[in-house]
């Protein structure tokens, strides 16, 4: 499996994505804690819909899904031993994560175009 | 359980994992839970951006008492995964490499996660 993000490359990517995901989420949580009350629908949409925010959020989902893939893959490789089952589970997980990426991308794109 | 005719006795209550092992396993469990939350998060983002009504529905849902168990679990997962993850990054930099330091760091991650969970849940409710 080292061809699909394995070994040192996966180790490094897991750490790089973790830092971006953590910084982004902390920014979101702190911003919402300070400005969440009385933000309202218009304020929410203006904030999320800002071009820079859309870009940062798209990057966040990309980093998050890569991070999830590497983490889940490690868990599966530890606990699922029969090869056929392991490959099936990995394929289904990859499919689900790609679907989430397409879904999140669509939501952001629709927000950007409105 | 018998092997070679000798009784093997495992008292599960007497077996204690070191705190580092518990925090590490918690990092794995919380990670899997957070992955399961990704579709929920995208769904809530979609609804909240779609319309004024959707926004109100999402705002009401996350504060709903029935949603509290999910909120609590997700708040803990996020808190623990974040702090135990920072612990891993510090360990990569060989900080807290001695046993006493490693134990302190693991306790700090677990306790900090508990406090952060409480803060997140209260921030949503209040």
Q: What is the pLDDT of residues B45-76, one digit of tens each?
A: 999 999 999 999 999 999 999 999 999 999 99
Q: Would you state the pLDDT for residue A1?
A: 47
**Chain A residues 88-107 within an 8 A CB cutoff of chain B:** 100, 103-104, 107
- Residue B86: pLDDT band (50, 70, 90) is very high
**Residues of chain B with C-beta less than 8 angstroms from the C-beta of A105:** none
Residue B44 in contact with partner chain A when CB distance is under 8 A: no
B42: tokens are: 């995208």
Given a contact cutoff of 8 angstroms between Cβ atoms, the answer to whether A60 and A20 are in contact is: yes
Question: Which residues are paired to B3 by β-bridges?
Answer: B6
Q: Would you state the pLDDT for residue A3?
A: 57
Q: Mean of the per-residue pLDDT values for chain B?
A: 91
Shortest distance, CA B115 to any CA of chain A (angstroms): 15
Residue B92 in contact with partner chain A when CB distance is under 8 A: yes
Asked if residue B96 has pLDDT above 80, the reply is no
pLDDT along chain A (114 residues), means of 10: 70 95 97 89 96 97 98 95 95 98 98 91
Shortest distance, CA B89 to any CA of chain A (angstroms): 8
**Chain A residues 52-91 within an 8 A CB cutoff of chain B:** 64-65, 68, 71-72, 75
pTM: 0.89
Model pLDDT for residues B37-46, shown as the tens digit of each residue: 999 999 999 9
Comparing A63-67, B15-19, B87-91, which segment has the lowest mean pLDDT? B15-19
**Chain A residues 2-31 within an 8 A CB cutoff of chain B:** 15, 18-19, 22, 25, 29
R_g of chain A computed on alpha carbons = 17
- Residue B5: pLDDT band (50, 70, 90) is confident
Q: Average of pLDDT values for B16-33?
A: 93
- ipTM summary value: 0.92
Asked if residue B9 has pLDDT above 80, the reply is no
Rounded Cα distance between B58 and A14, Å, is 31
Asked if residue B7 has pLDDT above 80, the reply is no
Given a contact cutoff of 8 angstroms between Cβ atoms, the answer to whether B76 and B113 are in contact is: yes
Q: Which of A18, A49, A113 to mutate to test the interface with B (most CBs of B within 10 A)?
A: A18
**Residues of chain A with C-beta less than 8 angstroms from the C-beta of B31:** 68, 71-72, 75
Angle, CA of B117, B26 and B36, to the nearest 5°: 75
Q: Is B16 helix (H, G, I), strand (E, B) or coil?
A: coil
Task: Please indicate whether residue B98 or residue B116 has the higher confidence score (pLDDT).
Answer: B116
- Residue B3: pLDDT band (50, 70, 90) is low
Angle, CA of B42, B43 and B45, to the nearest 5°: 65
Please name the residues in contact with B29: beta carbons below 8 A apart, sequence gap of 6 or more. Answer: B77
Residue B56 in contact with partner chain A when CB distance is under 8 A: yes
Q: At which residue do the structure tokens 């999910």 appear?
A: B70
Residue B46 in contact with partner chain A when CB distance is under 8 A: yes
Q: Would you state the pLDDT for residue B12?
A: 73
φ and ψ of B51, to 5 deg: -160, 165
């Amino acid at each position: 499996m080292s061809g699909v993000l394995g070994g040192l490359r996966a180790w490094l990517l897991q750490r790089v994505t973790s830092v971006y995901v953590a910084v982004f989420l902390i920014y979101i949580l702190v911003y919402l804690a300070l400005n969440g009350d009385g933000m309202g629908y218009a304020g929410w949409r203006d904030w999320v819909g800002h071009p820079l925010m859309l870009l940062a959020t798209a990057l966040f989902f990309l980093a998050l899904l890569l991070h999830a893939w590497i983490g889940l893959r490690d868990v599966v490789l530890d606990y699922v031993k029969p090869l056929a089952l392991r490959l099936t589970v990995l394929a289904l997980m990859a499919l689900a994560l790609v679907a989430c990426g397409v879904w999140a991308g669509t939501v952001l794109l629709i927000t950007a175009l409105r | 359980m018998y092997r070679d005719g000798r009784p093997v006795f495992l008292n599960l209550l007497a077996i204690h994992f070191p705190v580092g092992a518990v925090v590490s396993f918690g990092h794995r469990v919380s990670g899997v839970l957070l992955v399961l939350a990704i579709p929920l998060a995208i769904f809530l983002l979609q609804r909240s951006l779609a319309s004024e009504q959707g926004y109100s529905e999402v705002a009401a849902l996350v504060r709903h008492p029935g949603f509290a168990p999910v909120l609590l679990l997700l708040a803990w997962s996020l808190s623990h995964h974040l702090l135990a993850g920072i612990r891993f990054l510090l360990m990569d930099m060989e900080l807290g490499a001695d046993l006493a330091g490693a134990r302190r760091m693991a306790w700090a991650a677990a306790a900090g996660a508990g406090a952060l969970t409480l803060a997140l849940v209260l921030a949503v409710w209040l």
